[in-house]
Structure 1
Amino acid sequence: MTDLPPTRASLAADLAALGLREGDTVIVHSSLRAVGWVPGGRVAVVQALLDVLGPAGTLVVPTQTSDNSDPKFWQRPPVPEAWWPVIREQTPAFDPAVSPTRGLSVLVEAVRTWPGAVRSNHPQTSFAAVGAQAAALMATHELDSHLGEGSPLAALERADARVLLLGVGFDVCTTFHLAEYRVPTPKTEYGCAVRTDNGREWVTYTDVATNSDDFAHLGAAYEPTATLRRGRVGKADARLFPVVEAVAFAVDWLRTNRPTG
């Protein structure tokens, strides 16, 4: 007998069995390829998440725009130095309504463009949300706080949100970055195109030099002690855990395991 594909209804049932509840606030990192072929694709997966969360819940995704950045730091791929001034002059200013994401799951674009979605106003590390708390969670995103205290990540922590890793590992767990702002972490220079009262401008600023290279190891240490639910959603391995707990563990782990010199 041929296995049937996951559907909106079966995915909602899987999410509920995992522990996602009506009224939850959840930040999702996903691979739809891992979930498997679904009738309706990304739209059906978002619908399944919203079916479980209900009208009182809130769905959040990262909507990063890493291409709006200083080309002198680009490595994948690098570009000729002669191009740098042109890129700085011509890159469109970030627009929450239209700037597409880069290098993220197709689910992200589905949520970003969902009716009623609210997006934070950061030119490089924005988030988007749909649901009851969307506007409140997205209201503050300071330019020099990519993923720190002045970002939606801190708002998610205050809202007692949870993280859903759907077919992906801890290496892409954006929530861990909040911990980097609470331990000694080097800063670096950033540049991007923004819209100001004077029109489009290229701005530079400094912020924490975030680094996810060791997040898989961090997650492997966190999981055995975590308040974590693990199961299958469609064909994907899924983990559900609290933001507050994950950040607190990450702070202690980074202090012990990352060099500070």
Structure 2
Amino acid sequence: MEKAASNFGDSEGRVMAATPAPRCRSSVAANLRALGLCEGDAVVVHSSMSSIGWALMDVVGPEGTIMMPSFTYVYSDPANWSAPPAPRDWHDTIRREMPLFNPLFTPTFGMGRIAECFRSWPGTHRSGHPQASLTAWGKHARYLTEDHALDYPFDSTTSPLGKMSALPGSKVLLLGVSWNRNSSFYVAEKLSGCFQPTKEGCPWLDADGNKIWQEFDDVDSAEDELLEEVGAAFEESTLRESASLTSKIQRGKVGSASCRLFGCKASVDFAVLYYQQKKYSK
């Protein structure tokens, strides 16, 4: 009987055949540096590449900061579920029985293995929002993730993403994913004033330590198609000769994945203006 370790499947064989050299921690780190990521950088990462974590830490070092989404949108009002919708007569039971969110133990939902691995990595900090938490590692991790307000979870001043966008020189890395995964655009939704207010809900502890169902304020979010549209327009704008260096998008390969590296604040500012000029209102 062959050892299990040698039983690679067809998918691994296809990857090896299409890859000119091994993709390893040091080569990925070299690719990231060539892209423009530097020691001390603060960066929001959206990645489809499972081996990215160690290489990112190698590049930004202890003076840098890495942040990834660790969302749990299942902690939401069943009345708002649509894919699939929850039967109306289930709503009260779901609200009553939904467990409390715990930043240490509640797994991410629908975020993939990378975000889940990063969430549980030693030395990371996770914000306390039941739906829209983010996890960070490095110099600014505690500051970025503390005091995450329940209302408007992507607010420009109280949310981890909002605080990250305000850090001088902060960046966003899209690695093997498209613009619809870019969470910095979420910060622009409330700032733009173009999205309708909405109510959400989640299990919560009141002042006496009792579990309750707590409503909170938010705004409707952009659909994937609109996020792709904003991203394409942002990318086009950075190709103009008049574009400032801080708004440029660095493009390249990390391993076999196509990626983009760009300023976090520049992307937020562009999305705000784009929404306002196009007068998008959901």
1:1-40 alignment, distance < 5 Å? 2=17, 3-32=20-49
Who wins on radius of gyration, i.e. which is larger?
2
Percent identity, please: 39
Aligned twin of 1:219 = 231
Aligned twin of 2:197 = 187
Q: Report how far residue 224 of structure 1 moved.
A: 2.4
1:172 is the counterpart of 2:172? no
How many pairs does the alignment contain? 251
1:156 is the counterpart of 2:167? no
Aligned twin of 1:236 = 257
Q: Report how far residue 246 of structure 1 moved.
A: 0.7
What are the Cα deviations for residues 166-215 of structure 1, in whole angstroms up to 9, with x where unaligned? 10111111101111111222111101112344232211122111223301
Q: TM-score, normalised on structure 2?
A: 0.85
Distance 1:64 1:136 in 2: 19
**2:210 counterpart letter in structure 1:** G
**2:34 counterpart letter in structure 1:** A
Q: Any idea what SS the aligned residue of 1:204 has?
A: strand
Distance 1:13 1:196 in 2: 49
Aligned twin of 2:13 = none
| Range with greater deviation from structure 2 (196-205 or 45-54) | 196-205
RMSD: 1.6
**1:15 counterpart letter in structure 2:** L
What are the Cα deviations for residues 64-114 of structure 1, in whole angstroms up to 9, with x where unaligned? 110000111112222222221111011111111111111113211111101
1:121 is the counterpart of 2:95? no
List runs of 5+ in structure 2 lacking aligned partners: 1-15, 239-247
Aligned twin of 2:77 = 70
One of 249, 252, 255 as aligned partner of 2:270? 249
What are the Cα deviations for residues 16-54 of structure 1, in whole angstroms up to 9, with x where unaligned? 11110000000001112xxxxxxxxx3x42101100011
1:45-56 alignment, distance < 5 Å? 45-56=52-63
Q: TM-score, normalised on structure 1?
A: 0.92
Distance 2:281 2:86 in 1: 31
Q: Report how far residue 259 of structure 1 moved.
A: 3.2
Aligned twin of 2:211 = 200
1:90-109 alignment, distance < 5 Å? 90-109=97-116
Give the conservation status (yes or no) of the 8 Å contact 1:93–1:201: no
List runs of 5+ in structure 1 lacking aligned partners: 33-41
Q: Any idea what SS the aligned residue of 1:146 has?
A: coil
What are the Cα deviations for residues 114-140 of structure 1, in whole angstroms up to 9, with x where unaligned? 101101111110100011110011123
